[in-house]
Amino acid sequence: MDMTTLPFDIATLNALYRRHRLRPEDVIDAAFARMERDRSYGAWISWFDAEGLAPYLERLRALSPELAPLYGVPFAVKDNIDVAGLATTAGCPAYAYRPEQSAAVVERLVEQGAIPIGKTNLDQFATGLNGTRSPYGVCRNALHPDYIAGGSSSGSAVALARGHVGFALGTDTAGSGRVPAAFQGLVGHKPTRGVLSAHGVVPACRSLDTVSIFARTAADAETILRAAAFPDVRDPYSRLLNPRGVDFATADPLRVAVPRAADREFYGDQEAAALYAAYVERLRGLGAVVSEIDWAPFRETAALLYESAFVAERLEAAGGLLRTRPEALLAPLRDILGGALQYTAADLFESLHALRALRGRAREIWDRADVLVVPTAPTIFTIAQMQADPVAANTKLGFYTNFVNLLDLAATAIPAGVRDNGIPFGVTLVAPAHQDGPLLHLAARLMGTPRSDTPLASDRVEVAVVAAHLRGQPLNGRLTSRGARYVATTVTAPRYRLYVLPGPVLRAGLVPAVDGAPIEIEIWEMDHAALGALTREIGAPLAMGRVLLDERDVVGFVCCDPGPAARDITAYGGFRQYLRASTKSP
């Protein structure tokens, strides 16, 4: 197998792991070889060495690719998101700290088997859409290094596009998870705000920030979102993903809104204008009903992000340095934060009232459209052009992105063509909050790739428990504390023997056997992330495998080698029956 070109997408890695044709160690070695090859692109700030990665690889011994959807998939983390063992810099060495605990979203992904490789470059304090505002160096476009990568999640997008990882995390406040995706030809999903916990994320604008996902396919993005989404009480803006209505990705006809031709802005980039017009015609060719809308509410909303009191929220993380060590901040950020100091509380309320009115005007489009389709960015600049006019050029990049978080919308950036110089052009699919599933399904449909078969609303799996995890038993809290729900009591197929295992907690395991019998078990339902965490707690000789019932199989506790100290209690028919008989014994 050629590890220099092997794609690291989830489906490819999972298939190879299941067939035992690949080891996570092989993937990690290949990832670091690719990173070394691409040092000139400036994607990375820090990364784990072999000792730092050892615990993540060891954790995989308690998982399997059949049960952990992200088993052995390497991923990159934008360096404003905490990863235990690596410094968090937010693109500013003077701000750096070393967290003891990873961000909630990183922990969830690790529980599902993913391996964090390291921290990626970004526009300082996640303020910028270009990827050149970093003391760790300019981040270069993965396909044409003379051009910008887009920001602020520049390093994450480049690391994925160059094949270093299987997916990457960014953040998105004004478009930082979408613009880099467009410039690298990736899927960039900006989830419904709050669905991915921001606990352990350095804030840019806390009330608007969203952890974002970079992936090669919409199906991968959906798998990652399912694995990481959960309501987190540690994040005051956290909320449960609440899918609404019919999946518009299957609508016939699909209703698409686009800006009126007179309102479209490409800043003289005729190639981008032509690619967008061609994409709109492609949507019509696919049977979509396309309607042009008044762009004014979206343009006015976008202006609020940097031209009103909302910009003052950016002082939360970097304001202390602005006051005490302004030289630690790059010039564009100093200017932005300096301007934020002028606003008063009265100005903030005025901005909030203006936003509320704009939300009402913008909401009207959803009465006649399922999805809004816009260019992800109106144009692209070379690095030299960006550095010659950093503020004005950066502002232009946000024309089609700045409004999304302010209006509480979800968005998915996808490839939509290629420029003559080889740099991708992209569009963004935008819909109301909680429409993440339909957006990703439509993205898969438009990209011609299969979508995930599991809807976001059904991220649950049935688990068979045998002994100490049964209701009323000492380890049952490991289920209930993770939101597991009791479903039923049933029996296995007659293919198992049941052994009590020695230890401080009385446990038992199912052992496959030709002379087996039906064994009573309980079926519980829990989400995949919780199952991953539970699996990590299982001690040998127990493991998670497939437990056969009469007409189907479920995930459950199995034991391949109980050992000489184990006791065969198959004759009792189940663990509870054994306990009752033991209690009655003299």
Q: Active-site positions?
A: 78, 152, 176
Assess contact for 304 and 405: CB atoms under 8 A. no
Distance, in Å, from the CA atom of 435 to the CA atom of 404, rounded to the nearest integer, reads 13
Burial 400-412 (b: 16+ CB within 10 A, else e): bbbbbbbbebbbb
Burial 273-295 (b: 16+ CB within 10 A, else e): bebbeebbeebeeeebebeebeb
> What does DSSP assign to residue 471?
T
For residue 344, give the amino acid letter: T
How far CA 85 is from CA of 99, 100, 103, 259, 303, in Å, comes to 7, 7, 12, 46, 39
DSSP 207-237: TT-EEEEEESSHHHHHHHHHHH----TTSTT
CA-based torsion, 440, 257, 180, 144: positive or negative: positive
* Nearest partner of 371 among 442, 466, 446, 295, judged by Cα: 442
Q: Tell me which residue has tokens 């994925």.
A: 160
CA dihedral of residues 479, 481, 487, 489 (deg, nearest 10): 50
As a residue count, the chain comes to 586
Measured in degrees and rounded to the nearest 5, phi and psi for residue 100 equal -85, -20
Distance, in Å, from the CA atom of 222 to the CA atom of 412, rounded to the nearest integer, reads 11
Contacts (Cβ under 8 Å, ≥6 apart) of 427: 276, 279, 373, 374, 375, 376, 413, 414, 416
* Nearest partner of 108 among 9, 16, 195, judged by Cα: 195
Distance, in Å, from the CA atom of 231 to the CA atom of 221, rounded to the nearest integer, reads 19
Q: Does residue 541 have a cis peptide bond before it, meaning omega lies within 30 degrees of 0? A: yes
Q: List, in sequence order, the alpha helices (H) in 162-310.
A: 179-184, 218-228, 270-285, 296-307
Contacts (Cβ under 8 Å, ≥6 apart) of 33: 3, 4
Cα Rg for the chain, rounded, in angstroms?
A: 26
Distance, in Å, from the CA atom of 240 to the CA atom of 500, rounded to the nearest integer, reads 40
Q: Enter the tokens of residue 444.
A: 């898969």
